[in-house]
Structure 1
Amino acid sequence: MKILLLLSFLAAYVPTGYAITCTKCTESTSDDPWFPLRVDFNEMTCSRNPGEMVCDEAVTSCWTTIITMHFRRGAGPLALTEMDRDCGPPLDIDLPSGGACSGEGLAEAIASRMDPSEMFPEALGLTYENLDASVCFCDSSDRCTPPSAATDEQSITAIRLVDGGSDLEGRVEIELDGEWGTICDDSWDLDDATVVCRMLGFDGASGAPGSAQFGEGSGPILLDDVLCTGDEATLTVCPHPPFKQHNCGHTEDAGVICFTTGTTRETPTPAGFLVDVRLVGGNVPSRGRVEVSNSYGQWGTICDPNWTQADANVVCGILGYDGALSYSNNAEYVQSSGRIMLEHVLCSGWESKIASCETQDYSGWGCDHPQEVGVECNVPEPSEFQIRLVGGSHPWEGRVEVLNQHEWGTICSVYWGKPDGDVACRMLGFSSAYEAISPTDAAYPMPFGEGTGSILLSDLLCTGTEENLADCSHSRWGIQHCSHYEDAGLVCNSPDPDSVVVRLVNGRSKAEGRVEVLYEGEFGTVCDDSWDVNDAAVVCRMLGYEGASEAPGLARFGQGSGDIVLDDVVCQGSEDNIASCAHRAWGENNCGHVEDASAICTGELNLPVRLMNGNNANDGRVEIFRYGAWGSVCDDFWDINDGHVVCRMLGYERASRIWWGATYGTGTGRILLDNVECNGNEATLDDCDHPPWGVHDCNHYEDAGVVCV
């Protein structure tokens, strides 16, 4: 029942005298498949003519008209849709071209020239309510899309099969605007099922069961009365009522049974559906078989006998690498048995996604799994390495791991030695390496376990003076030929020497006593194994004395009560800090407190002091030299008497003023003293009451200052 009134209405705007060359089609549909429609089978239906109509240059215009009339009846609402495509000379009417134009004004204009209530016999019991109308015009620069495409502003974003006995069958569910729902089985047939199966990558459909054969869904029913021809690329372009418009329940949920021949090439996925890329089958993340996924979450490979460097560069760029080192198209990284997602990719090399490259379906060429493509990507080496120790019992020991693009990997122990370990330990804040562990007969299995990530480095050849392992000679970043049983291990000697504090306890003077070391917030003792006067001399110089006359053992100045933090200390005597001497790992010993080591120092106490960042030489931030480095004084309890002592240490008569709160700026070294309480007559700050050196609860914004006169 062509819409003659509408065509007459449009003809009023059409100049005469031009040839008409466009192909015509007409179609009537209903949301009730049993409603009797008058159809002229001699005319071409619009749904069977899905291709675009192209207007001849400056000769004709094409239009697509769609009118949906809404009726009320005893069986419920009824929607009847009239579709018509026709052509004529160029139209001069005030409507946009190239898309569906609709609105109240257009619907009212059409309704004023036709009476839908007179179109059907009264016996059908229809009561007309309203209508929706749209018209798409195109001129010589436009293409008219099929009516079904013009009616749907929404499109299906994903599809899946649910509750089937295999991946080939199940209840059809589609995703629309982030919401999953089912399809009603009204008008559901093998043509519709074929489109679904091909969307999922199968060869076709062998069944289109309805009546919820695979169980009832629980979400919304998103489609009804789908009328595919079987040739469509997606359900979206098949004729159907508007999404979510239906007269069904979940007992009518549609299903499909798909098939794949195994010998017929699958239909390649349209490039616009590609959403992700990954590498599979390589021994490191940067190498492997290229796989791509579609918007339905399915992964497959690429088959391409003409795979190029440009194609590989695009894949590696998507994955965050700096181009490709190599590429292959001979299933180098283990041939897959799954789906081939793409065939014959043609990239320029600049694309940011595979979907931007040209892809061609050339299944007749016989491309198959043996020609699956792979890449080896160029892993960018960081300018500086970030490392950590894993698997040890203490912070100073463990398996060495390196950070690479948010993932941790290991170091192969080929050529791994103490100079490499020294560099790694200093990177972590320790003084040096006690032992660089490689898998040998004695050490295997590795004491810190095997890593599970990539092996990023090998063949390290450090001199021991470098600041970072990246500065050492090493193999190509990210490409190694080791196994995880060869992961490098490390035991560091101590924390940064600047953080190590010593004291002498229970002596008759400050120049002698049991040696105690501040480590991780608490003082502990030193075992006398290998202890000699060279070791004691280092301790004495840390405290400001000239050297040592004796190095007693066997707890001469009494037994300590804390941890034994150092053992087997071997100093040359010239070190600035006991932490720089060779020794066992911190906390590791085979001693008891009956072996606590001691020292007897020689010479007068030398406690250098200076004023920093002042306006003149006689004022500034107070800093003291001890333990081989300069450090500041916290302003807790800081008063004029403390200032007097500092000024006399510097050769001045007294202090005229003291300052709190980092008046002279904040220091950068250790905070050496806190809660200093002098009476003003002491020779040095060490003679004043104060907690142990290095013990404080301050920050540098509390650094003390003084003005001397």
Structure 2
Amino acid sequence: MTVMWDWCVLVSSTFVAFNIVRLVDGGSRCAGRVEVLHDDQWGTVCDDEWDVRDAAVVCRELGCGDAVDALNKAHFGPGSGQIWMNEVDCSGSESTLKNCKSAGWGKHNCNHGEDAGVICSGHRKSRLTGGFHLCSGRVEVLNAKTWSTVCDADFDQQDAEVVCRELGCGLPVKVLRAAAFGRGEGQVWSEELQCRGNEFQISFCPTSLSHNCTHDSDVGLVCAGHTGARLANGSDSCSGRVELQYLNEWGTVCDVSWDMRAASVLCGQLKCGSAVAVLGSDWFGEGIGQIWADVFDCQGNETHLSKCPISSWSRTACSHKQDAGVICSGSSLAFHEGRVRLSGGMECEGELEVYFRQDWTRVLLDSWSESEASVVCRQLGCGSAISFSSSFTSSPEHRHMCVTGFNCTGSEAHLGNCSNAETVNCSSREQLSITCSGKFKSAHSSIRLVGSGGDCAGRLEVFHSGSWGTVCGDMWDIEDAQVVCRQLQCGVALRALVPAQFGPGTGPIWLNEVECDGNETSLWNCRFQLCGEDECGHKEDVGVICSEFKEIRLTEGCEGNLEVFYNGTWGNVCLNGMDGETVSLICQELNCGRSGSESWAKARVESAPNWLDDLKCRRHDSILWHCPSSPWRQNNCDKDNEVAWITCSEDENDRVLRSHLKCSSSPHHRQCSKHLPLRLRGGNGICSGRLEVYRNAEWGSVCDGLWDIMDAQVVCRQLGCGPALSADGSAVFGAGEGPIWLNRVKCRGNEIHLWDCPHSLKNHTDCSHSQDTGVTCAGQMILLDF
């Protein structure tokens, strides 16, 4: 006897015979429009007499559990082709739909508007809720018509890859535990996902019995968001305007948030080699639609943009006139006249070479001005020009021909648009080296404000010739401060401070006699003199306070009226909407414990503004300024009895810690560090030593993997100890004891707290105390009081 197999499908590495049914257009293999195979052709099923017993047979045949719903009237959309079955009448016990009674193959009086559908209990779909964008939040699973949260013990990286893929959100960035996006409602899902990571949807993942969890263990997930990248409007696929796809929508990227490292990763991702130029919109035209506000903090060696840390850059509105463009080495434009590169130095500093008449050629210093330097720095995506000087190269390939005669206005997008260039014999004439501001990925990070504990007030420091230095107070005024605040995206200038009101700096004094009109976009566009310490002393270092400088305090130490410093004034916070999560974060920011209570109070100062209302923090917010609230000064509260009074609760560990750190009641006292506290041990005083952090009621050290001066800079700023002098590894200040809490810290140098930097936070047993990192800072603590 010969058996004819109508159809078979591979499921979990085994063949299932006579599987002639499938569900389509329902989001998974366990939900959708019912289709059956007959005469080697798929067709639909008419909904006449279609009920849950018929649906149960379909779900059983597909291995999708029980039937949740039997749907009619083309709920999952009309099919096409044949309608194979009608008036299906199953008892519910059949093993396959073809064993049920029906009108016969192809016999019907139906149309595709009557196609039947099924949802089985094995149909699962996921969503993310409560996050800071659509591709982040608490993981929830729809199962049998009910949304349930997922236990963090049941969720791993492979599960995260499938959820991000199912939602069209790219690759997973981080799995967050302990209800990081808030506690969910309803049920905690009773199953554990066991995805391999390559499934298209979680419905295809096996499951097992879950742990017994509460909503305190709801898992959260952050996905990269973007699922596609391309270069548009170029001469080929390896050049063009940068466009990224988020949630199936394509948009452009602002050139302020884009640099050569990110461009190199994109070129590699597109199999186009490495990046040779970052360009503005006048190269590849203006895009349309969204302008994505993500900054990709790439090292340049990542294989995909999704593997770069991402931060949100949204305080300055870009237009499509600032759309970023890229030329990769795999493009025909890579050999375009006017290409530039810097060699022999850092990414945005070095000896200038231009691609001229089919060869790389050096540039003569005597043909150069600030206008040409501005064009080169802009073309390289390196911000603005800081300086240019003579180069002392002696390499054989640069001994003969040089290029000269560029004539730029300074507004050109690339050097190829400047006229009159020609080649000449180099002989003994001086050649050119350039320093651009963009060593730290954006023009605004070539200046900084330090000494206040925030990034929008403090002593002004500028980066030049490889080191940070200060600015002399001669001729310093509010117009100069206005440009600094604009460049740092810190609002408007409130005060231009001299002399040294944020403490004297150390090292070089780079600028003097700064003269800005006040409307410049960068301090480097103002008139100034480069100077040395012989012209000024650090007692004349200038400072700035911008309107976006913000701080918080409780008026009586660890209890009292909650007050916020903003726009140059201390004001109130209203109690409306405030909950325990918000109070907990406030107390932690002020090193006053991890919990507290809130109550009504009267404003301490009757004339003070009500700055904030409806302030409500979420579990994943790390500082108060990340928490949602009403806009500044928009409130619905009465100063007489509706402002917030906070009483923080300290346990013994908190009290010991505060005593050890000698924290004052002022929130400006930088030794009262925020979030997880820091300290330096084993050095000379409180501003040098082995770095230790306080976590889980225990001090531990930091492993020196990736540790450098940028990380040390953040530590010194957080501790109020001035600029960093050195970043030390290999237990220079002696080996610590206990856990090693941090490793692979990667700061850019301008973060306010160490916890704002990418890092690995756990007990790093793969490191030893012989690798404990240390820091040496320049100064002592500075106390601000407004």
Give yes or no for TM over 0.5.
no
Which entry has the higher C-alpha Rg, 1 or 2? 1
TM-score normalised to the size of structure 2?
Answer: 0.28
TM-score normalised to the size of structure 1?
Answer: 0.30
